Structure 1
């Protein structure tokens, strides 16, 4: 049986070239309030408070979406995503951003349908056009991982991926792309035959380089959209060649 290739993208500073939370904060004039509350609020609660402030100012979710559409997303990253999807890979997003932000950006760039699943902090828009953002994990029921923030353990998400594969586990290969410290936990759970693509000069890359003995997967560093595309498509094609495809 041919190997299935599952590609997992982090979102902020990996799939896009900025941080979506901070983009909204800066572009929509929330920096002062953010700086006041950052020391005293958990991150996801703080982001919910930020969009609550926008709502109180009369700003609409349409305005937030328009702001998000300005986030830079490298055209070669977009091309790589479309190519990977066309080659039959299963693409997923695992991110500490939120569903509204991610879906808005992906839809704007025509990429949403390339992804089979988006695992992130959930969000809703109520009848008053108030965007709400919630933690992925219940912060009152700690996940117990010391490597990850309270609201999301990406390693636990990855373990659920593995469990869902069942008998297909041995025939599945993973490629994980990330940049942040929260991406180190799932990187530790990748096995031989899998690949991790850390962005150069970001926390994930630093942690991997400081603890190479902990990583079983192949490590492939990248800096920009061109390098991401080249490396990702090379890994996909190499996997397909081994499958006889």
Structure 2
């Protein structure tokens, strides 16, 4: 497979979401299979409105699971049963072979879930970096969750702003002498939208068909048409499986299989 080298030896960046993007389902909901009847108790469900974020709510669920005797091994085994969206394994494997492409996973899931699932397909080493909520099992075997960072974005969850993650990553890479000629952003949900308006004319956003991201992008475009403004510079390429994205990347980078 021959790789097309971008102008000035700059690199390509693949920024990809996790839940409903790399994997079919939501890992935070999938883990409920370890609960009796797969249900969160009503008192915990009702407490969601008192938490500052979904992240805190999940922390309470993990504490409840531990009180029921759920072990770390059971959590890992549960994550291993999750299925990947068709073509996503191939997409991540492709970017590993592309000498000028980096891949970052940015997700509001957590590090235990993502690392476990990626490792189940030997994909963890194929990803340049994972930006998500840090998690670990404590000495008693309870999964503990922390927010990824603090930020000032008013539209993103309090524990993770994907726009801020991307900006910080690009700044840090530039300090290391690494710049990106194109960004390929792949996602599905509302929390994937924040970086989209800031993408450039050479960048591509891949919203999953039938999910919230594509609807938010459409509203942004309609707003621009009404105001006579260019509200989105990046090209929009909807997708329904990873093979569609892979085909696009092969054509746009000049690679041939």
Would you call these one fold, judging by a TM-score over 0.5?
yes
State the number of aligned residues: 233
What secondary structure does 1:148 align onto? Answer: coil
Question: Residues 164-243 of structure 1: matches in 2 within 5 Å?
Answer: 164-166=172-174, 167-169=177-179, 171-212=180-221, 213-223=230-240, 225=241, 228-240=242-254
Q: Give the C-alpha shift of residue 188 in structure 1.
A: 1.6
Whole-Å separation in 2 of the counterparts to 1:93 and 1:152: 13
Normalising by structure 2, report the TM-score.
0.84
Question: Residues 5-154 of structure 1: matches in 2 within 5 Å?
Answer: 5-28=12-35, 29-33=38-42, 34-41=44-51, 42-88=53-99, 89-138=101-150, 143-154=151-162
CA contact (8 A) 1:84 1:236 kept: no
What secondary structure does 1:39 align onto? Answer: helix
Whole-Å separation in 2 of the counterparts to 1:50 and 1:179: 24
Which deviations, in whole Å up to 9, do the C-alpha atoms of 1:123-156 show, x marking residues without a partner?
1222212210111124xxxx22122111111100
Larger radius of gyration: 2
Q: Give the C-alpha shift of residue 240 in structure 1.
A: 4.2
Unmatched runs of 5 consecutive residues or more in structure 2: 1-7, 222-229
What secondary structure does 1:96 align onto? Answer: strand
Which deviations, in whole Å up to 9, do the C-alpha atoms of 1:148-173 show, x marking residues without a partner?
1111111000111221232543x431
Normalising by structure 1, report the TM-score.
0.88
What secondary structure does 2:41 align onto? Answer: helix
What secondary structure does 2:193 align onto? Answer: helix
CA contact (8 A) 1:7 1:174 kept: yes
Whole-Å separation in 2 of the counterparts to 1:184 and 1:75: 23
How much is the aligned-residue C-alpha RMSD, in angstroms? 1.8
Unmatched runs of 5 consecutive residues or more in structure 1: none
Which deviations, in whole Å up to 9, do the C-alpha atoms of 1:72-123 show, x marking residues without a partner?
2134211111112112321110000000010011011221111010000111
What secondary structure does 1:164 align onto? Answer: helix
What secondary structure does 1:59 align onto? Answer: coil
CA contact (8 A) 2:34 2:70 kept: no
Whole-Å separation in 1 of the counterparts to 2:19 and 2:95: 19
